Amino acid sequence: MEHVPACSRIAPSPTGPLHLGNACTFLVNWALARRHGWRLVLRIEDLDRERTRAAGDADVEELLGWLGIDHDGPVIRQSARLPAYEAAMERLAAQGLVYESPHSRAEVREAAQALSAPHAGDAPTPFPATLRPEERAAWRFVRHDVNHRMQMDPGVERIADEVAGAHSFDPAASDGDCIVWTKAGHPAYQLAVTVDDLAQGVTDVVRGDDLLPSAAIQARIHRALGGTPPRWWHLPLVLDAGGARMAKRRGSRSLASLREAGATADRIRGLVLAWIGAREAPAPAGASEFRDAVDVNILRAWHERSRRTPVVADDASLTWLRGR
């Protein structure tokens, strides 16, 4: 059997400034790759052109370099890969797995509520199978200016995560048929990242655990395209001072602004080591020191601990980063 070299990817989306939560995930990803001899791809997920333009021209690669995060090979931009995504859609269409879905959110909610009680809270409404087109002529990929969905049949997907442990998901119950192509004329997230991971030989996906349910959907797309799903490494999220998930749209303190205020890469690495439990308290750490301190047992212990006490980028952390 041919040996497949291990490969991971760092895949920032330039829709806003990178923050400390991004730094934590990217640094751990880099450390795992360099410690275990994986290739490490840098992929810029810039398909959302409107949000990317609105965020300005933040130099993601320069900031990653400042943190000591290097990568192998040229930078890959999703915006330059539309033909690959179109080819993947044609493969799915040839299998009768995708269809045109011009339905509005109101139509989806109405159809879902006709089958059961309204969906609770702010959770998304699963797309009901009753809205699949009866005409097989709509099960195609011809028009690029309409949403397309991929059929998700009922059934459990078991995810054996290297950090978060074993989980089971049923995409049909949680999401229904998922959008794989958008009316904006580009692939949806679930399709794009799967096509890229297959094309770039990604064997190990390291990312935040808010994306753990997406692993089930992506595993199905992998198999439909003839691939093998990667190993998953889902890490706990870093929360902001208010206990909410750090997010670009909420204006969380950016890495660029922290650097301008006096934070150094050594201090950011040292803070992350304390957050994940590799050190008892923050202390400046060089890149090689950070790499050698990260291992899977520390990450698993961090995951267990975060269920009770999540990591918070509080005022004390920010003050220490600035060296005050």
Q: Quote the pLDDT of residue 245.
A: 82
Residue corresponding to tokens 């920010």:
318
Given a cut of 50, the residues of the chain with pLDDT beneath it are: 1, 54-57, 117, 119-120
Convert the pLDDT of each residue in 250-295 to its tens digit. 555 789 999 999 999 999 999 999 999 999 999 999 999 999 999 9
C-beta separation of 162 from 29 below 8 A: no
Q: Quote the pLDDT of residue 57.
A: 47
Q: Quote the pLDDT of residue 9.
A: 98
Question: Domain 82-194: which topology?
Answer: Glutamyl-tRNA Synthetase; domain 3 (3.90.800)
C-beta separation of 156 from 168 below 8 A: yes
**CATH (residue range 7-78+236-321):** 3.40.50.620
Q: Quote the pLDDT of residue 228.
A: 96
From the list 113, 110, 111, 180, the residue with the least C-alpha distance to 141 is 180
Topology match between the domains 7-78+236-321 and 82-194:
no
Q: How far apart are CA 265 and CA 263, in angstroms?
A: 7
Residue corresponding to tokens 């690669």:
61
Query: Cβ of 47: how many Cβ atoms within 10 Å?
Result: 23
Strand ranges for the chain from DSSP E: 7-10, 39-44, 76-77, 98-100, 148-150, 157-161, 165-169, 178-181, 204-208, 231-235, 238-239, 311-312
Write down the domain spans for the chain: 7-78+236-321, 82-194
Q: Quote the pLDDT of residue 1.
A: 47
